[in-house]
Structure 1
Amino acid sequence: MARTAASLATRLRHAGERWLFRIGAPEPAPIRLGQRRIYVLPSAAGVGFALALLVMLLAAINYNLSLGYALVFTLGGSAAASILHAFRNLYGLSIRPGRCAPVFAGETAVFSLLIDNPASRRRPALRLGAQGQWSAFDLPAAEETAVALACPALRRGRLALGRSVLETRWPLGLIRAWSVFVPKADCLVLPTPEPDPPPLPPAGGDATGASRDARTGDEDFAGLRAHRSADSPRHVAWKAVARGGPMLTKEFAAGEGRELLLDWDRLPAGLDAERRLSRLTAWVLAAEREGRRYALALPGIRIAAATGRAHRERCLRLLALHGLPDPTAEDGA
């Protein structure tokens, strides 16, 4: 019940902010904070300070204390002046999104926003927030600063930074000045690689990994590695085990010029879509580490065999966005 009420309150607050602050689609860069984009209200400390001033004023009136009047009006004037200082601390700033490196699902996406201070004065005590995460920073005079914001990436696909807030309570903490904006910033979240995947499928073989047994005669022995639960028993170094050694698995290297096909349709039928993507991701990374040329086949999409960073990133992007709506359709070749 409490969680439902909190969720409803959050949705109502976001709806109110969309209406009040005109929050909509992501804005093109740079986002400049002008007079109409900065909002100023008393903070919780400011409300308490105002109540204290009111009590002091009533006491001064009741006892006709001249020094009481002077103290109340001096403190009130300082609080009023802080409104202007808080506003000027945000006024004129320019914001544009930086690059966010792809991450695997379950990791943390680090967004970077470049905030430019064109004025000849520093901007202290600023805070940037999005998705419940906050980062505090200062802006030097006439400089651009990159501010990092770490957000959890729970699901594969594109993670948009979304509604962001830049705020300050400088100089006294009595006034909160803030601006709400939606930058064009997103992060590509890749499928989590399978922790202990089967060996890479042989060139032209079955992607389940089982047919590697039938092709060991066409491959060269490359060495031994630690045994994994998915390895075939035929590849276990039983002589080493009989001598009391650890469980090891024989590795074979395919001949030069042979290409791998990482095919969605050749994976075991018992794997669901997410587990297929997880295994293909692990195989793409493994093939790249071994310097093998590999092709990727997904339903309706086939990427020709290649190797290198650009090929790896293209394949991982297709795996991350498989089955999800994505405006960039150039990878569907």
Structure 2
Amino acid sequence: MRRLLFLNGIKAFEAAARSGSFAGAGSELNVSAAAVSRMVHLLEQRLGVALFERKANRLVMTAAGRAYQSGLTPIFDALASLTAQVTAPASVRVLTIGVGPTFAMRWMIPRLADFRQHEPDIDVRITTGGAAAPFGDDWSCGIKLGDGDWPGLVAEPLFAADLLPVCAPRLAAQLKRPGDLRGPSLLRVAHAAEDWPLWLKAAGVARVSARGTEFQYYGHALQAAVDGLGIAMGIRPYIDDDLAAGRLVAPFALSVPKGMRWYLVYRSFRTEQRDFAAFRRWIIRAAAEPAARGKPGKIHRHAGRKNRLKNNAGM
């Protein structure tokens, strides 16, 4: 039989731990700070452990408090989401996806029409905040680039993040080998300063350094490349559609792993929700589909072995 201890006290503790004060918890729960303090104190007595250290003008959680709160918050989030799902009108089905702005523009939005064909009743809402944005409490799921280690989240791999230079066709015609690259023409992305050195080292052109225009996002650099401003370091899957359409070409076949992957991230309770389950099935299938038609052959780096390079200017 399930044994639940003093739910009001648990709610009071979780709200105080999350807000950092009894007053903040009281405002959220519509009770006084003193009432929250009493409920938390009773909870501590029933548990037999201290959850807070009471200090002047602030609360400090004990190790037991931190452990308790880290488990409780996802449970309350799941309960709130389940309640919203059960009480929402049957006609309202909302899926909120957190992605970076470039991923949204370069991959997600062009494919949403396909998802809508499969699930016309689901209202997809995209929120963007960049690669460093924390996972939002109101997100159904997110798509993030990294190593797959996000505490409290399930991370399922979608794509490898491979790097290869791309440019407009007229510029590609001037590039016969990596040694033809010149620093001032190599477009940069501010938060990915390691991309060009990584690729250039693999190509055996360490004497060249990227000194072209710097942009905040990959999407900006790729658009500049489409417009002929220079050569951008492309990252998959951002470049696949442009390569397929011929807006960009890859002058060289060398493709270098960035050392990270793209992941679908979500809280474990989402797997029980039909709308998220439908989206998860769709995106895993979409990610597994062949990338841009006519992409260059992929050659990974191998320690101690010189990489073979092929001219691919006609793509």
The two structures have a TM-score, normalised by structure 2, of 0.27
For the pair shown, the structure with the greater C-alpha radius of gyration is 1
Higher relative contact order (CA 8 A, sep 6+): 2
The two structures have a TM-score, normalised by structure 1, of 0.26
Answer 1 or 2: which has greater helix percent.
2
Answer 1 or 2: which has greater strand percent.
1
